[in-house]
Structure 1
Amino acid sequence: MTTRQARTWAGVTLAAVLLLVLGIALARRGGPATPVARPVTATASPTPSPTATGGAAPPVIVPGRPGEPASVRAGQEVRDAAPPRYNSLDVWFVRMMIPHHQQALEMAALAPDRAADPRVRAVADRIRAAQQPEIGVMRAWLTTRGLPAEVPDHDHGTMRGMQSAEAMRQLAAARGAEFDRRFVRMMTDHHQGAVAMATDLLKVGVDQTMQEFANSVAAEQTVEIGRLGELLPSS
């Protein structure tokens, strides 16, 4: 190999070595940063309700009447078929029955000092024990619904079973057997009026609480009429 050839070979070798060193240096420093893809977290979208999408509402178990099995009905059907909470006839019944009960309490309050028959006094005691709390129930029913109890310019004396002011004065003036006869006659008529009012509401009312209340009034005062009839059959 000549001196010129040796120099050429040495130059090529040196260039190769430099390229190799440069490649290693670049590899250690690292090349351009490659973006790293971040994992994407999927967010579950809320499941729309059946009613929002127009689908059927969940079924509802509807209790049956006493002695009857429960039934399963579509939720939308039950909601649509639900009656209103109360109607004007429910309100009228409550507003009329409050003063009706109040007069019964006035009559019963006269018995302890005027009745001769202890059974008459016992009936009066039961009336006070039953009807005073019932007035509270009816007033609370109106208050809960934001309804006043008073009916302006209404003559309560026209209600069935209500006793006239004169009859009430005569009852207050009576004593002994005379009081007993008047009390039995007047309270029987009074109870019959209450039973008629309650029976009417059972036909036209829609409020469940008042339906139960009217049914209770009709049943209890019918029993009381029977007791009154046993006291003085000839009155």
Structure 2
Amino acid sequence: MSTIRRSTRATVAGAALVLSVTLSACGGGTAAPTAAPTTTEPPVSAPADAGAQHNDTDIRFAQMMVPHHQQALAMAEMAVERAESPDVKALAEQVRAAQDPEIATLNGFLESWGIQPMDSGMDHSGMGHSGSGGMMTQGDMDSLGAASGAAFDKMFLEMMIVHHEGAVAEAEREVAGGANAQAKELASQIISGQTAEIERMQQMLA
């Protein structure tokens, strides 16, 4: 009788040992998935860290490009209302659709860097296009406002080409010397988008 009990106890102990080993093995198999998400955390937090980095080139880019875009919008709005050519009107709509949201993005950069955003009501007309990123003078804007018909279309295209060339030059400076990844990405988009529009406007003039 005692032999049977000892045998039974040995069997139960052996079964418990096997169960313990089995559970340990199962536990080891489920540990890997729970550890995996920790390896994905650095890439998620990296963009936020990179976004905090900026230098003087980034600041110049944002501060120059906001009034630059604002003037382009003023020109585009004139063209939407007054251009004779449907193609010029369509181009003006494209300029407005692209640059209006970029102003908010650029001011968002400045705000995140602890710098006062550019006031949309500021008068930037005194920034002539010579050495100032293609900006038009107030005289240029007045001349455009006084034109009509085909003469308006021609003047608008000529002025917007110079304006875009200035924007591309500013964006190229940002790509070359900026430190903020998001600002550099926006600059790259400006280069590609406005270069394509310059080619389109040159074809319209031809």
Q: Distance in 2 between matches of 1:103 and 1:232?
A: 21
Q: What pairs up with 1:38-53 in 2 under 5 angstroms?
A: none
Share of identical aligned residues, percent? 40
Q: Select the residue among 124, 141, 146 that pairs with 1:168.
A: 141
Q: Of the two, which has the highest radius of gyration? A: 1
Q: Select the residue among 61, 86, 89 that pairs with 2:57.
A: 89
Q: Select the residue among 103, 107, 110 that pairs with 1:142.
A: 110
Counterpart residue number, 2:75: 107
Partner amino acid, structure 1, of 2:109 = W
Q: Distance in 2 between matches of 1:145 and 1:195?
A: 23
Q: What pairs up with 1:197-208 in 2 under 5 angstroms?
A: 197-208=170-181
Per-residue deviation, residues 128-147 of structure 1 (Å, max 9, x unmatched): 00000000101111112221
Counterpart residue number, 1:124: 92
Per the alignment, do residues 146 and 83 of structure 1 end up closer, same or farther by CA in structure 2, a change over 3 Å counting?
closer
Matched, 1:190 2:163: yes
Counterpart residue number, 2:3: none
Q: Distance in 1 between matches of 2:55 and 2:176?
A: 12
Partner amino acid, structure 1, of 2:162 = D
1:61 to partner: Cα distance: 11
Q: Secondary structure, in 3 states, of the residue corresponding to 2:179?
A: coil
Q: Distance in 1 between matches of 2:192 and 2:161?
A: 14
Q: Select the residue among 162, 180, 192 that pairs with 1:219.
A: 192
Q: Do 1:114 and 1:174's aligned partners in 2 also have CA atoms closer than 8 Å?
A: no
Q: Do 1:84 and 1:206's aligned partners in 2 also have CA atoms closer than 8 Å?
A: no
1:232 to partner: Cα distance: 1.5
Q: Give the structure with the larger helix fraction.
A: 2
Per-residue deviation, residues 117-174 of structure 1 (Å, max 9, x unmatched): 100000000000000000010111111222113499x963351211111111010111
Q: Secondary structure, in 3 states, of the residue corresponding to 1:156?
A: coil
Q: Distance in 2 between matches of 1:203 and 1:211?
A: 9
Q: Do 1:99 and 1:156's aligned partners in 2 also have CA atoms closer than 8 Å?
A: no
Per-residue deviation, residues 167-209 of structure 1 (Å, max 9, x unmatched): 1101011111000000000000000000011011111101000
Matched, 1:179 2:152: yes
Partner amino acid, structure 2, of 1:134 = E
Q: Distance in 2 between matches of 1:116 and 1:150?
A: 33
Q: Select the residue among 110, 127, 130 that pairs with 1:156.
A: 127
Q: Distance in 1 between matches of 2:80 and 2:193?
A: 22
Q: Select the residue among 92, 97, 101 that pairs with 1:133.
A: 101
Instruction: Identify the structure with bigger relative contact order (alpha carbons < 8 Å, sequence gap 6+).
Output: 2
Q: Secondary structure, in 3 states, of the residue corresponding to 1:163?
A: coil
Which runs of 5 or more residues in structure 2 are unaligned?
1-38
Compute the RMSD of aligned alpha carbons: 2.7
Partner amino acid, structure 2, of 1:188 = I
In the superposition, the TM-score normalised over structure 1's length comes to: 0.61
Q: Distance in 2 between matches of 1:188 and 1:87?
A: 29
Moved over 2 A (4+): 59-63, 149-152, 154-158
Q: Do 1:83 and 1:206's aligned partners in 2 also have CA atoms closer than 8 Å?
A: no
